[in-house]
Amino acid sequence: MAAPAGLAQAIDGAFGVSPPPQLPVNIEAEQALLGAMLCDREAVFAVEGLVRPSQLYEPFHQRLFEVIRANAQAGRATDPALFSHRFTGDEGFADLGGGQYLGDLVNRAPPTANAADYARTIAALHTRRELIRAGGEIAAASASGEEDADTLLGFAERTISELADGSGAQEDWRDGPQVIAGAMTSARSRDRTADCIAGVAEVDEMLGGFNAGELAIVGGRPGSGKSTVALQIAKANAARGLGVVFFSLEMGEEPIGLRLACDLAYDRRAPVYCGQSDNPTFDRARKNRLTVDEWRRLDAAKETAEGWPLLFDTRPGLTVSRMEQAARRAFGRWRRKGIKPGCIVVDHLGLIRPELERQGSKHAETADVSHALAAMAKRLGVPVIALCQLNRGVEGRGEDKRPTLADLRQAGEIEEDARVVIFLLRPAYYLRPPEDGEDAAQAAQREAKLDRVRNQLLWIVAKNNNGLTGQVESFIDVGCAAVRSKVAA
């Protein structure tokens, strides 16, 4: 596509050379972006703030972008069949092929997750074109000899400044008093309960809740109760009417559903016979060994969750961009219903597929995933709580099995990206019968210790950029997938 005549003349007149044969334009990127927007209304919201209609090169593309965006913002579909009639008489529309052109855009549309990349490319090319235009104007004015050097410098500075201000590259400064006032207003508007909670009194008292726009890591060894805690956090916030999306890359739909049902049916005051309460357990539910009454309690638990804004995605091998795309859609639907987004829970970090293969470097891939989770939290403005497996170093320690930040698997970047890092420790896990046997006295001693810690779950807050660190204790019944405050309500 040739450079505009005016620009070509300016450059030719200034330098006495032929103009560049082609301006930086990528029509295919514009087509890909518009195709994604036509296929999926959520793509419109995904590129909001990244590109403006005027930054597209093809004039018809600019007009089409405006129409698609208007439909999406009004809550209407963006299917081309719904608005192609609006371009009747549009010469640019006819020249490109009319309705067939819109159909081709849809047929060749890329995944919605890639829309933001195309938007950034288009905006960057627009900036480059504007720099060429501005450079031509400055060169032409300088070559004419009609103005003195100081005037030309002022003209050049003003031209580049106006370009920067209009390109979307300008900074969004807030002065100190403005920042302080906004923070104080936000703090004063909060009640005693944080927006996004763990649902365990002792933990929420220490943390003050999970903060919007931040990544929190919940780490532990296998068997420490990570997935149970993740469901507890999701349940606690959904029960308060906050929208929660839960990505389970490890557990399937059935085990999640049964665990959640057992948790909701759990009665801490249920009578105990021979060391076991009559609460329905996940294991017996999975094997269809519950009594009629226990199944009835699980049915009641299902009714408890009716209407909760809680969504599960159990697809394996998701990337962070795929998760963000799905979460953005869910939050958009909830917002239109007046439901405030709560948090994103990911089980677990080690199973997220990296966007780029790093030639077998697990460390680099884990760092990429960690950075992406932190960025997703900031872009969506909600807490992201991600579970993380710890390395085996914990197992080789003596009596004290409490994890430290050094036990985070694969990458120190996880520690850097997370604003909060919590480790879980269930002491009862390490009081199982030894493989090589034990005598009666040893067994009695171990059982006595086990009785003291059977329902103990330690939350070790190893990092908290917003407040206190330390250790708190809560109640857990692993068989029933139930986590509660230490002191029964």
Is residue 390 situated within a structural domain?
Answer: yes
pLDDT of residue 72: 82
Query: Does residue 154 share a domain with residue 244?
Result: no
3-state secondary structure of 384: strand
In 10 A of CB 116, how many CB atoms?
21
User: Does the global pTM surpass 0.85?
Assistant: no
Q: Rounded to whole angstroms, how far apart are CA atoms 19 and 3?
A: 8
Do the Cβ atoms of 32 and 108 come closer than 8 Å? yes
Q: Rounded to whole angstroms, how far apart are CA atoms 417 and 214?
A: 9
Query: Does residue 383 share a domain with residue 236?
Result: yes
Q: Which amino acid is at 292?
A: V
Is residue 184 situated within a structural domain?
Answer: no
Residue 482, Cα to own-chain centre: how many angstroms?
Answer: 26
DSSP string for residues in 175-214: -HHHHHHHHHHHHHH--SS-SB--S-HHHHHHH-SBPTT-
Count, residues in the chain: 489
E strand or H helix at 456, and its extent? strand 456-464
Query: Does residue 95 share a domain with residue 23?
Result: yes
Is residue 172 situated within a structural domain?
Answer: no
Domain boundary among 117, 150, 166: 166
Query: Does residue 233 share a domain with residue 112?
Result: no
Query: Does residue 411 share a domain with residue 264?
Result: yes
Is residue 175 situated within a structural domain?
Answer: no
Is residue 61 situated within a structural domain?
Answer: yes
Domain boundary among 166, 183, 215: 166
> Over the stretch 398-456, which tens digit does the pLDDT of each residue have?
677 788 787 776 667 788 888 999 999 888 887 776 766 777 777 777 777 777 878 88
Q: Rounded to whole angstroms, how far apart are CA atoms 335 and 337?
A: 5
Query: 187-208: string of b/e by CB count within 10 Å (b at 16+)?
Result: eeeeeeebbbbbbbbbbbebbe
3-state secondary structure of 141: helix
Q: Rounded to whole angstroms, how far apart are CA atoms 449 and 119?
A: 60
Is residue 78 situated within a structural domain?
Answer: yes
Q: How many CA atoms lie within 13 A of 256 on its CB side?
A: 21
pLDDT of residue 10: 39
Residue 344's DSSP bridge partners are: 245, 384
Q: Rounded to whole angstroms, how far apart are CA atoms 478 and 276?
A: 12
Query: Does residue 406 share a domain with residue 297?
Result: yes
Query: Does residue 239 share a domain with residue 305?
Result: yes
pLDDT of residue 187: 66
Task: Name the token pair of 352.
Answer: 């997220």
Is residue 384 situated within a structural domain?
Answer: yes
Q: Rounded to whole angstroms, how far apart are CA atoms 208 and 220?
A: 21
Domain boundary among 109, 132, 166: 166
Which domain range does residue 469 map to? 191-484
Do the Cβ atoms of 426 and 228 come closer than 8 Å? no
Query: Does residue 476 share a domain with residue 364?
Result: yes
Q: Give the residue from 291, 293, 286, 229 showing the smallest Cα distance to 263.
A: 229
DSSP 8-state code for residue 77: -
Task: Name the token pair of 170.
Answer: 């300008």
Q: Rounded to whole angstroms, how far apart are CA atoms 406 and 394?
A: 10
Query: Does residue 358 share a domain with residue 461?
Result: yes
Is residue 267 situated within a structural domain?
Answer: yes
Read off the CATH number of the domain in which 420 is found.
3.40.50.300
Q: Rounded to whole angstroms, how far apart are CA atoms 239 and 253?
A: 20
> Over the stretch 288-297, which tens digit does the pLDDT of each residue have?
888 888 888 8
pLDDT, tens digit only, all 489 positions of the chain: 344 444 444 334 333 334 455 788 999 999 999 999 998 888 888 887 788 898 999 999 999 998 888 888 777 778 887 777 888 888 888 888 888 888 889 888 888 878 888 999 999 898 888 888 888 888 888 887 777 777 777 777 777 766 666 655 444 556 777 777 777 776 676 655 567 899 898 898 888 889 988 999 999 888 888 999 999 999 999 999 999 999 999 888 888 988 998 999 888 887 766 556 788 888 888 888 888 888 888 888 888 888 899 999 999 888 888 888 888 888 888 988 889 999 999 998 888 988 777 776 778 888 888 988 998 898 888 999 999 988 777 766 667 778 878 777 666 778 888 899 999 988 888 777 676 677 777 777 777 777 787 888 999 998 998 888 899 999 998 888 889 988 765
Query: Does residue 195 share a domain with residue 133?
Result: no
Which residues make Cβ contacts (< 8 Å) with residue 8, sequence separation at least 6? 2, 19
Do the Cβ atoms of 236 and 483 come closer than 8 Å? no
Q: Which amino acid is at 181?
A: A
E strand or H helix at 118, and its extent? helix 115-144
- Would you tell me the crossing angle of helices 253-265 and 292-304 to the nearest 10 degrees? 100
In 10 A of CB 373, how many CB atoms?
26
* Share in percent of the chain as helix, strand, coil (round to 5): 55, 15, 35
Query: Does residue 209 share a domain with residue 97?
Result: no
* Residue 84: φ, ψ to 5°: -60, -25
Vertex 265 angle, CA 261 and 268, to 5°: 135
DSSP 8-state code for residue 455: T
Which residues make Cβ contacts (< 8 Å) with residue 12, sequence separation at least 6? 18, 19
Residue 353, Cα to own-chain centre: how many angstroms?
Answer: 14
pLDDT of residue 386: 95
Read off the CATH number of the domain in which 44 is found.
1.10.860.10
Number of domains in the chain: 2
H helices of 40-97, in order, are 42-46, 59-73, 91-96
DSSP 8-state code for residue 68: H
Query: Does residue 279 share a domain with residue 406?
Result: yes
